[in-house]
């Protein structure tokens, strides 16, 4: 082998060693992210057959739910938002094991969201039926003497609206591509199917209707002692290592920032729009970029081709879904 050949071989070896080191770092980071979310199983590939999928592979629901940073921030925001309904909060306080098994609850929630977003109609139907069976057993009496049931259509509508509102708000602030007003309405229209399958009624299908719903329901909301306990638990988090505490603190700060102003006030959360804009949001966006790098597999960068994704998905929105689903859903 001549000198030129030796140089080319050395370059190839160096490139392979570097790529292997980067992939090792990525894999280790991905494992830590999944562990921190309580994910213990590898996800199956997303359904890419439009004839079988619960949501179409090119749906706006899949695009929005496929972005890990936005979903983490939106999910935390939804947890805080949902606490403001006294009957919903009473059910959580009396039946949920969120304090003794927070990661288990997170895994079950993420699993349901992942199945209904990326699974087949049959898989989604099975997931919905499991949740409905649990809801039937969640009944009791709130602090104010009112009876509640997790199967109550009004409570289901509240939980759904707080969730989709939070996901949209986080997507507007942190997703790489902000959805258009038409896409936001399409998202709410498509997501109404999940709420209706769970038993909700009269679910808002547009941003205007969602805003009107919150105006209507606000007089029935309250910051109860149970909500205060749950809020403090969510704000504190369960991380023990310094990097876990710092990362979670940034995510929960970003989650507070995308809540409606009136909800933040009612939850007794500090209203610091300037601080949110100048400190939290830039840092959370940087963290989001790092998360996307962690969950994005290595690819051969060719301007004419989309990257290949683990599990067989490739390119476009479906490729993004495949990448992020492996962390978000725990399926």
Q: Provide the 8-state DSSP code for 56.
A: -
- The pLDDT value recorded for residue 102 is 66
Pairwise CA distance, residues 217 & 82, whole Å: 12
Beta carbons within 8 Å of 306's beta carbon, 6+ residues apart: 314, 315, 316, 319
Mean of pLDDT values over 241-269: 85
Q: Copy the structure tokens of residue 72.
A: 């983490």
DSSP H helices, the chain, are 3-36, 60-65, 68-82, 86-95, 102-118, 121-137, 153-174, 181-198, 207-217, 225-236, 242-257, 261-266, 273-275, 281-295, 316-328
The residue assigned the tokens 């805003």 is: 211
- Confidence grade of residue 54 (pLDDT, cut at 50, 70, 90): very high
What does the pLDDT look like over 23-32, one tens digit per residue? 555 555 555 5
- As a whole number, mean pLDDT of residues 318-324 equals 38
DSSP 67: -
Q: What is the pLDDT of residue 74?
A: 93
**Res 298: pLDDT:** 54
Per residue in 173-198, pLDDT (tens digit) is 999 999 999 999 999 999 999 999 99
The Cα-based distances of 136 to 25, 124, 129, 146, 323 in angstroms read 45, 19, 11, 17, 35
Residue 268 to residues 155, 212, 226, 257, 265, Cα–Cα distance (Å): 23, 23, 14, 13, 5
Residue, of 226 and 96, whose pLDDT is higher: 226
The confidence score (pLDDT) of residue 142 equals 95
| pLDDT score recorded for residue 327 | 34
Q: Say whether pLDDT at 292 is over 80.
A: no
Share of the chain above pLDDT 70, in %: 68
pLDDT value, residue 96: 85
Highest mean pLDDT among 36-50, 60-74, 104-118, 190-204: 190-204
Of residues 74 and 295, more confidence is placed in 74
Q: Which residues contact 157 (CB under 8 A, 6 or more apart)?
A: 195, 200, 201, 202, 203, 213
Instruction: Evaluate if residue 240 carries a pLDDT over 70.
Output: no
Predicted confidence band of residue 53 (pLDDT cuts 50, 70, 90):
very high
pLDDT-derived band at 17 (thresholds 50, 70, 90) equals very low
Q: Answer whether residue 60 shows pLDDT above 90.
A: yes
Length of the chain: 331
- Mean predicted confidence (pLDDT) in 148-152: 96
Residue 218 DSSP class: G
What separation in angstroms does the CA of 291 have from each of 57, 297, 319? 23, 12, 16
Q: Are 284 and 73 in contact (CB under 8 A)?
A: yes
Q: Is 100 exposed, middle or buried (0-12, 13-18, 19+ CB in 10 A)?
A: exposed
Taking only the tens place, the pLDDT of each residue in 209-230 is: 999 999 999 999 999 999 999 9
Q: How far is Cα 163 from Cα 304, in angstroms, rounded to an integer? A: 37
In the chain, domain spans:
44-322
Residue of 184, 162, 150, 155 whose CA lies nearest to 77: 162
Largest CA distance in the chain: 88
The per-residue pLDDT of the chain, averaged, comes to 79
**Tokens describing residue 175:** 């997703």
């Amino acid at each position: 082998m001549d000198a030129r050949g030796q140089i080319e071989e050395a370059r190839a070896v160096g490139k392979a060693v570097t790529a292997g080191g980067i992939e090792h770092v990525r894999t280790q980071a991905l494992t830590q992210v999944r562990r921190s979310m309580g994910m213990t199983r590898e996800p199956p590939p997303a359904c890419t057959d439009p004839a079988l999928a619960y949501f179409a592979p090119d749906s706006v629901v899949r695009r929005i739910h496929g972005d890990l940073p936005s979903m983490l921030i939106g999910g935390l925001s939804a947890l805080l938002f949902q606490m403001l309904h006294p009957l919903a909060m009473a059910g959580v306080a009396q039946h949920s094991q969120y304090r003794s098994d927070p990661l288990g609850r997170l895994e079950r929630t993420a699993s349901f969201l992942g199945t209904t977003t990326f699974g087949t109609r049959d898989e989604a139907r099975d997931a919905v039926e499991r949740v409905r069976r649990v809801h039937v057993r969640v009944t009791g009496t709130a602090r104010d003497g009112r009876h509640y049931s997790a199967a109550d259509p009004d409570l289901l509508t509240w939980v759904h609206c707080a969730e989709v509102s939070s996901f949209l708000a986080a997507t507007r602030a942190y997703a790489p591509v902000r959805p258009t007003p038409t896409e936001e309405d399409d998202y709410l229209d498509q997501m109404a199917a999940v709420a209706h399958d769970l038993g909700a009624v009269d679910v808002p299908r547009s941003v205007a209707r969602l805003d009107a719903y919150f105006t209507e329901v606000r007089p029935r909301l309250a910051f109860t002692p149970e909500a205060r306990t749950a809020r403090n638990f969510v704000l504190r988090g369960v991380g023990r290592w310094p990097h876990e505490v710092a990362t979670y603190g940034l995510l929960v700060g970003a989650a507070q920032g995308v809540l409606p102003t009136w909800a933040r006030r009612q939850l007794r959360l500090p209203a610091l729009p300037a601080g949110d804009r100048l400190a939290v949001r830039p840092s959370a966006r940087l963290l989001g970029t790092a998360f996307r790098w962690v969950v994005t597999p290595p690819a051969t960068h060719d301007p004419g081709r989309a990257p290949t994704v683990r599990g067989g998905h490739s390119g476009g929105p479906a490729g993004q879904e495949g990448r992020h689903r492996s962390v978000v859903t725990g399926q």
